Amino acid sequence: MTVPTVRRMKFGFAAHPDANRYFADGSIVFSHLVAILSAIFPPGEDIFVRSVRRYVDVIDDPDLKKRVTGFIGQEKTHGLQHRELNEQLAAMGYPTAWFEYLLGSTERMEKFLDKQYPSPDRLRRLRHFFLGFTVAAEHFTAVWAENILKRPEVQAMMYDPEIRNLLNWHALEELEHKSVVFDVYRAIGVPESTRIRWMRFAQNCGIPILVLFTWLSIATTDVEGRRQPFRILKETVQMLRNPMWKGFYSDMRPFNKRDFHPDQIDTTELVARWQQELFGTAGQLAGHVR
């Protein structure tokens, strides 16, 4: 198994703070959705990292240990870069800081419990609950990442080149490390039912929650959006029909089988192609690596 490569990146978000507010396909709804996702990523990825880091000392397999280090490095870097983008989005009027604030409450609780009860054998069910959440979320992101990278029509929707660069780099690395947390989960011996239950929740509630947050984001921060309820409705339908979601539910389904493993979905060719395209000798992002 390959160890995920950590790439320290430098994007130029601050270079163009006056970017088009509706940077995603010129759509108010789609742009708010992308802003929400970008806002959720850093605190969400911190939850992923904490849920895995708790078990580093009990993993015996040296290869898995190295892959976990690569996973943590990649997720930490994603968080850093999305935080930078979120600053720009906040300056453009998106409520990205709210998510950081809201998800900060689980960070406080987790950090307190980790300090008070450092052994992963304590509070087992709660810790398994977080690991199961991470495994399901990682599959959710891997399916998404695959869709973003393999569909030229999704690529064409991202107007802002630097936001597209960030999303492509992030998507590639999500595919590179898609099986790491799953392998930790198996190594720890967490019951399969925990991750499956989480996936059912993500499948049923993931998109409705995102739509709700998107509407809330528009209602509270976007005068232009508030003035055009029919446009919002129309764009919501368009967003749900976006090729980004094509085959989403069917790709999610195999996860619910007990013998599922992320590598059963073969993305090696897609990953190799994008590694070359972004980070090969004449790669689009070769100049973005620090």
Of 123 and 244, the one with the shorter C-beta distance to Fe ion is 244
SS3 assignment, position 236:
helix
Of 136 and 154, which CB lies nearer to Fe ion in the complex structure?
Answer: 136
In 3D space, the residue among 210, 79, 236 whose CA is nearest the CA of residue 144 turns out to be: 210
Least distance (Å) from Fe ion to the CB of residue 26? 26
- Least spacing, CB of residue 184 vs Fe ion, in Å: 13
Nearer to Fe ion, 78 or 195 (CB): 78
Q: How many residues sit in the footprint of Fe ion (CB under 5 A)?
A: 3
For the segment 91-130, give every residue that binds Fe ion (CB under 5 A). none
Contact characters 154-183, Fe ion, x per CB under 5 A: --------------------x---------
- Rounded to the nearest whole angstrom, what is the least distance from the CB of residue 283 to Fe ion in the complex? 20
Q: Which residues of 168-192 are buried (b: 16+ CB within 10 A; e: fewer)?
A: bbbbbbbbbbbbbbbbbbeebebee
Question: With binding defined as CB under 5 A, does residue 139 bind Fe ion?
Answer: no
Piece in contact with Fe ion (CB under 5 A), picked from 68-76, 113-121, 208-216, 217-225:
68-76
Stretch that binds Fe ion, among 69-77, 206-214, 216-224, 227-235 (CB under 5 A): 69-77
Nearest to 158 by CA among 33, 260, 282: 33
Nearer to Fe ion, 50 or 78 (CB): 78
Applying the rule CB under 5 A, the residues between 211 and 230 that interact with Fe ion are none
Contact with Fe ion (CB under 5 A) among 32, 54, 67, 78: 78
φ, ψ for residue 289 (rounded to 5)? Answer: -85, 130
Note whether 32 binds Fe ion by CB under 5 A: no
Neighbours of 5 (CB within 10 A): 13
Q: Min. distance of Cβ 19 from Fe ion in angstroms?
A: 23
Q: How many other C-beta atoms are found inside a 10 Å radius of the C-beta of residue 44?
A: 22
Q: In whole angstroms, how far apart are CA 144 and each of 120, 274, 282, 288?
A: 31, 15, 26, 23
What is the distance between the alpha carbons of residues 222 and 216, in angstroms, rounded to a whole number? 10
Applying CB under 5 A, the span of 10-18, 74-82, 219-227, 233-241 interacting with Fe ion comes to 74-82
Residue 78 burial (10 A CB sphere; 0-12, 13-18, 19+): buried
Q: How far is the CB of 162 from Fe ion (least distance, A)?
A: 17
Nearby residues of 264 by Cβ (< 8 Å), 6 or more positions away: 254
Do 4 and 271 meet the contact criterion of CB atoms below 8 Å apart? no
Q: What are φ and ψ of residue 7, in 5° steps?
A: -115, 120
Identity of the residue, 75 or 146, whose beta carbon is nearer to Fe ion in the bound complex: 75
Which residues form the interface with Fe ion (CB under 5 A)?
75, 78, 174
